[in-house]
Amino acid sequence: MPVLIQIRSPLAPSPSQLRLGKGQTLIGRDPGCGVCLDDQGVSRDHGAFSYYIGVLMVEDHNSTNGIFVNGLKVKRQVLYTGDRVKVGPVEIYIQKGSAPSGADVGSAASAPQMPK
């Protein structure tokens, strides 16, 4: 399954789409990053997306401003379709992410529900 993300930057007139291949894709201000975000709120080596055996993850590389997934600051997180990743002022929408599975330990989809 190909991974598809949409990048929405306050500096860009319209969102852009990007396909992520297998392996690691660096996120940062450095021109060598696979997801290059030209904004001072983004570190040169901010973090990375990793895609292996059907699982998409994002990882923070000890950046100054951190990485947020659905509003929560994370160090490393599995990403699913519909998740929103915030890197500085840039929002990245996961259009096709990890496929939900009953074997995903720790995901919101497999977590026991609290009684009401």
Running along the chain, 116 residues long, what does each successive block of 10 average in pLDDT? 83 87 94 93 96 94 96 96 95 89 47 41
Supply the pLDDT for residue 13. Answer: 81
Centre a 10 Å sphere on the Cβ of residue 85 and count the other Cβ atoms it contains.
24
Supply the pLDDT for residue 106. Answer: 44
d(CA 20, CA 13): 22
Centre a 10 Å sphere on the Cβ of residue 110 and count the other Cβ atoms it contains.
12
Supply the pLDDT for residue 99. Answer: 77
Show the tokens assigned to 90: 């840039």
How many residues make up the chain in this entry?
116
Supply the pLDDT for residue 37. Answer: 92
Structure letter (DSSP) for residue 100? P
Given a contact cutoff of 8 angstroms between Cβ atoms, the answer to whether 81 and 93 are in contact is no
Supply the pLDDT for residue 102. Answer: 54
The answer to whether the pTM exceeds 0.85 is: no
